[in-house]
Amino acid sequence: MRFVDEYRAPEAVMQLLERLRDRARRLDYTPARPLRIMEVCGGHTHAIFKFGLDQLLPENIEFIHGPGCPVCVLPMGRIDACVEIASRPEVIFCTFGDAIRVPGKNGSLLAAKSRGADVRMVYSPMDALKLAEANPDRKVVFFGLGFETTMPATAVTLEQARARNLTNFFFFCQHITLGPTLRSLLEQPDNSIDAFLAPGHVSMVTGTAAYGFIADEFQRPLVVAGFEPLDLLQGVMMLVEQKIAACSRVENQYRRVVPDNGNPLAQQAIARVFTVEGESEWRGLGVIAHSGVRLSDAFRRFDAETHFQLCPQQTYDDPRARCGEVLTGRCKPHQCPLFGQTCNPQTAFGALMVSSEGACAAWYHYRAQECEV
């Protein structure tokens, strides 16, 4: 198969589903206690709902949603810090579209913009760099977030800023790493995760070896999968075959995009600019060890938090929201009491409803008619 349409061909999908149903009969799982596969990536979640794959699976297989949406796990305190910076008259504050709408305790960046802050949506960190060059009398701050997928672009931009000797360009770092979060989930004694579909985009950078601990230490099968219907179903089939064989290993379904060793050039760029260490707070999940990322000493002068002398912001998670339970697969979005009423795409209460990759946004868009909202 070479073209996207071929990965969506209805005949091929139905044939694979028939094979999957046949193999699923050999699983030691029932509709009452199905094989629970966590799709880690928000892109997977939306593809699953868009194509209705969750409704086509055998009754003894279930998708549960994971924390692989960086906007969804933004703590309120980090948003409040961004709002504080953006509200300064000398600042042009830049970030991606989804992040602008994420609410903090003191409102969102979009609300700050409505109050007069110069907040701008950009499509890449290089857009922010160009703004800094075009506005030498302003301080341009880029709010960078995301997993290893987006870190190389930020790294290259910061190297360009240093090469051009820009003194008015700053970076607010909210990059985080995925592996420690998956470890944290599996270390929770009440987790019900039986297997993982791992994200293709992150894996394209990191390679597949980054997930080895999941199979080796926790005996959970993991398959790196693409984003089309046949990709996802083939990934599920590969997990089912591992379960039937009573083995746990890391496999790569998405070989047309993901090399097993990842992207060495991207990895080198990350290593030059960032230090992956320390802890980081995740919205709804708390503090996760070894998931934090900071600028290396050579690039510390671009750090916005240091430059603006910010104090750590206390975080707030409203107890009414079940964001953390959704992110860890403990409940479905529509089981949250705020879903659809207090929290909807127009008046989002939580980040999972804001992000285009959020599980709650996917449920609202594709399944709202099935829920009492």
pLDDT digits (tens, 9 = 90+) for 46-60: 999 999 999 999 999
**Cβ of 260: how many Cβ atoms within 10 Å?**
12
Q: Output the six-digit token pair for 173.
A: 């770092």
Is residue 16 classed exposed, middle or buried when 0-12, 13-18 and 19+ CB atoms within 10 A define those classes?
A: middle
pLDDT at 105: 87
Boundaries of every domain in the chain: 26-365
Token duo for residue 29: 């799982």
Question: Is the pLDDT at 153 greater than 90, yes or no?
Answer: yes
The residue count of the chain comes to: 373
Contact (Cβ atoms closer than 8 angstroms) between residue 316 and residue 105: yes
pLDDT in tens, 240-285: 999 999 999 999 999 999 999 999 999 999 999 999 878 898 887 8
CA angle 260, 266, 272 (to 5 degrees): 130
- Candidates 252, 328, 317; CA nearest to 68 is 328
First to last CA, the chain: 41
pLDDT for position 373: 41
Tokens of 63: 């998708």
pLDDT score of 219 more than 70: yes
How many CB atoms are closer than 10 A to CB 28?
10
- What is the strand order of the sheet 119-121 is part of? 119-121, 91-95, 139-146, 169-175
Give the confidence band of 321 by pLDDT, cuts at 50, 70, 90: confident
CATH 3.90.245.10 fits 26-365, yes or no: no
Confidence at 316, pLDDT banded by 50, 70, 90:
low
Beta strands 139-146 and 169-175, pairing class: parallel
- Residue 119 to residues 143, 161, 184, 275: CA-CA distances in angstroms? 11, 20, 34, 28
And the tokens for 71?
């906007």
What local confidence, expressed as pLDDT, does residue 314 receive?
66
Token pair for residue 213?
Answer: 């601990």
Per the DSSP assignment, residues forming a β-bridge with 280 are: 288
Mean pLDDT of 188-194: 92
The band of 347, judged by pLDDT with boundaries at 50, 70 and 90, is confident
Cβ atoms of residues 167 and 136 within 8 Å: no
Q: Which is higher by pLDDT, 365 or 233? A: 233
Q: Which residue has the tokens 């699953």?
A: 48
Residue type, 180: P
3-state secondary structure of 252: strand
SS3 category, 92: strand
pLDDT-derived band of residue 143, with 50, 70 and 90 as boundaries?
A: very high
User: Token pair 């953006």 is at which residue?
Assistant: 86
* Mean pLDDT (the chain, rounded): 92
| pLDDT band for position 38 (cuts 50, 70, 90) | very high
* pLDDT over 70, % of the chain: 96
Cα 235 from Cα 79, distance rounded (Å): 35
Task: Measure Cα distances from 107 to 80, 102, 104, 112 in Å.
Answer: 7, 8, 5, 7
Give how far Cα 65 sits from Cα of 41, 131, 363, Å: 8, 37, 11
